[in-house]
Structure 1
């Protein structure tokens, strides 16, 4: 069981904007949502774990859904966007000379993020298929912060002859779905005894490189 301060270390929220009781509510909600799922969690459970009256929750959040969105939405922006936004110029300025270098850095970067944000990622994976509001925000973050930058990266490596000429959105989908599958297997599906980190990372990279390379 994580302490409140450990959970807050994972959140993309400004602690100064929250009262002590509100911080307890959010920390309790994160832990129970991750363990039981949104649908199976009641506000009375959250209140009990937070040590507050149930009415206190509704003074801060109109509904349980609003509480969920207040937690997950900032995390989505933090999870999806930073690597591509921060490092786009490094890629285009050829700090990653090859597609292989870029993929390895991207996978390692997201693995490190996942290790620090496991509870929040679990909530996102559990709830994204069922929550329309989360789906809309997810699309918004991808469209606004990821797609244009990833298209530049794809074009960069297509110009270098490392990626087959096909629609950039198709290449991005193959990138993201493969890397997401790699992360899901590493953190949620396979046990540590079944997972060889370096070998599996290398296999994932080689799968993408060979699958997307132009015919010689």
Structure 2
């Protein structure tokens, strides 16, 4: 499921929100447009048309498109969507049993690749804003630590005990894996999306890189 689809479900069910129905329509429209076209390519007139409101209605609530993004869209995504997808990642990847560390790594990379492929226009905005806003960064870190980190560490320790990967601090192993996979996703979808990528080959090379780097040399 895409972030925009998930966001619409949460907004429709949210009974505690202080947003009016018009505001909810604006937020849903903004997230859908940002997901499809990206932030820079989306105009407030397009958001208004999608939401079925006058463009002036947006500016009565939000001074600029950026204000709409920072004050409502990003906090709403972090509040509702991020924990859901963190839990989904845990269920789909981290709570399974694997016959080898390589099988685990392969599953992890393919899972994140499919997620990024479905959602990268909105993820691009997320990545950019998290770097520049400490509050958003703190929320993201909290979600990672709450839902993902300990289970990731547990898997690393399991395969270290089996002798499949090097005895280096598990925290370092997690950091290396995340930085490698994140780097691949950035190159694939943000830095060089126009490149004629052979995704199966790139995933395979990424798996080999991680496995060779973490191989137990004893």
Calculate the TM-score normalised by the size of structure 1: 0.78
Contact kept? 2:26, 2:58, Cα under 8 Å: no
One of 60, 64, 72 as aligned partner of 1:67 = 72
SS in 2 for 1:9: helix
- Structure 2 partner of 1:155: 157
Going from structure 1 to structure 2, the CA distance change for 1:140 and 1:8 (only over 3 Å counts) comes to: same
Q: Where has structure 1 moved over 6 Å in runs of 4 or more?
A: 41-45
Deviations 1:73-110 (A, max 9, x none): 0333234442224543322xxxx211111111111111
SS in 2 for 1:90: coil
1:8 maps onto 2:4 in alignment: yes
Alignment of 1:58-137 (within 5 A): 64=68, 65-73=70-78, 74-91=80-97, 96-137=98-139
In 2, the alpha carbon distance for the partners of 1:123 and 1:198 equals: 26
In 2, the alpha carbon distance for the partners of 1:102 and 1:144 equals: 21
- Structure 1 partner of 2:207: 205
Calculate the TM-score normalised by the size of structure 2: 0.77
In 1, the alpha carbon distance for the partners of 2:215 and 2:73 equals: 41
**CA RMSD across the alignment:** 3.0
Going from structure 1 to structure 2, the CA distance change for 1:78 and 1:192 (only over 3 Å counts) comes to: farther
SS in 2 for 1:36: coil
Give the drift of 1:124.
0.8
Q: Which structure 1 residue ranges, 5 or more long, are not aligned?
A: 1-5
Give the drift of 1:24.
2.8
Going from structure 1 to structure 2, the CA distance change for 1:110 and 1:183 (only over 3 Å counts) comes to: same
Give the drift of 1:57.
3.0
Give the drift of 1:45.
8.2
- Give the total of aligned pairs: 200
SS in 2 for 1:129: helix
